[in-house]
Chain A
Amino acid sequence: ETGVTQSPTHLIKTRGQQVTLRCSSQSGHNTVSWYQQALGQGPQFIFQYYREEENGRGNFPPRFSGLQFPNYSSELNVNALELDDSALYLCASSLGEGRTYEQYFGPGTRLTVT
């Protein structure tokens, strides 16, 4: 069973640029969630995709957008990068919805905006 993978591992961008981060979900999982983890803080929910549709969104501006593909892999796109976007971006996959569902995290992509 393949776990959640993310690419790239590290990324350095300049303010105003755009970035795309990628996530491959665990085999059999149809739900992907994205989180932003600033240094020294807990993960903050960005949005979730379930069967290729956005299924919930946190308090992030529209310049954060996403996509889920038929194989359930996913992308996170951030436009007009700001310095405060520097963070670890985590992807988590899970199967379906429910209070008891468990999500499995990838190792994250470290984004630095200069």
Chain B
Amino acid sequence: GNSVTQMEGPVTLSEEAFLTINCTYTATGYPSLFWYVQYPGEGLQLLLKATKADDKGSNKGFEATYRKETTSFHLEKGSVQVSDSAVYFCALKGYGQNFVFGPGTRLSVLP
């Protein structure tokens, strides 16, 4: 079945540092890929998505590129802020299939 693997956290960075959170997936067919963010005490919010190979999703300074050859969708941001502290989930969905989420990576950004 489909699955998503993420780098284990927590990830702790200083403000303005570069962020990478790795995500790899296993899936049949050509799923869409997503990054969701969960702030403390809240539900999940869609951060960005990509629907086909080589697509780049971007939002709020975050980017991720759909790499079919390496089955990856790594999340990056050039300069993190304290307000980016949250848990980040990589997810995939194929047509007619359910969403599958990774275990999440907790990010803490220190001032």
Interface string of A74-107 (1 = CB under 8 A from B): 0000000000000000101000011111111111
Q: Main SS of chain A's interface residues?
A: loop
Distance to closest chain B CB from A105 (angstroms): 4
- The interface stretch among B12-20, B39-47, B76-84 is B39-47
Q: Is A33 an interface residue (CB 8 A)?
A: yes
Q: Which residues of B contact A41 (CB under 8 A)?
A: 103-104
Q: Is A48 an interface residue (CB 8 A)?
A: yes
A98/B100 in contact, CB under 8 A? no
B103/A42 in contact, CB under 8 A? yes
- How many residue-residue contacts, CB under 8 A, span A and B? 58
Which of B43, B46, B101, B104 has a CB less than 8 Å from the CB of A106? Answer: B43
A48/B42 in contact, CB under 8 A? no
A102/B49 in contact, CB under 8 A? yes
Interface size class of A (residues with CB under 8 A): 20 to 34
Q: In whole angstroms, how far apart are the Cα atoms of A73 and B88 in the complex?
A: 27
Q: In whole angstroms, how far apart are the Cα atoms of A16 and B46 in the complex?
A: 35
The residue on B at minimum CB distance from A57 is B98
Q: With A42-B104, A45-B100 in contact, is A99–B32 under 8 Å at CB?
A: yes
The residue on B at minimum CB distance from A90 is B43
Best-buried of B41, B45, B98 by chain A (most CB within 10 Å): B98
B99/A103 in contact, CB under 8 A? yes
Q: In whole angstroms, how far apart are the Cα atoms of A108 and B85 in the complex?
A: 20
Q: Is A8 an interface residue (CB 8 A)?
A: no
> Which B residues, 9 to 65, have Cβ-Cβ distances below 8 Å to chain A?
30-32, 36, 41-46, 49, 51
A sample of 6 inter-chain contacts (CB < 8 A) reads A4-B43, A41-B104, A42-B102, A100-B49, A105-B45, A107-B42
Interface residues of B (CB under 8 A from A): 4, 30-32, 36, 41-46, 49, 51, 89, 91, 93-96, 98-104
Interface residues of A (CB under 8 A from B): 4, 33, 35, 40-45, 48, 56, 58, 90, 92, 97-108
Other contacts beyond A99-B30, A99-B93, A105-B43: 5, CB < 8 A: A42-B102, A43-B44, A99-B31, A99-B51, A102-B46
Give the 5 A-B residue pairs with the shortest CB-CB distance, closest first: A42-B101, A105-B43, A105-B44, A45-B98, A99-B32
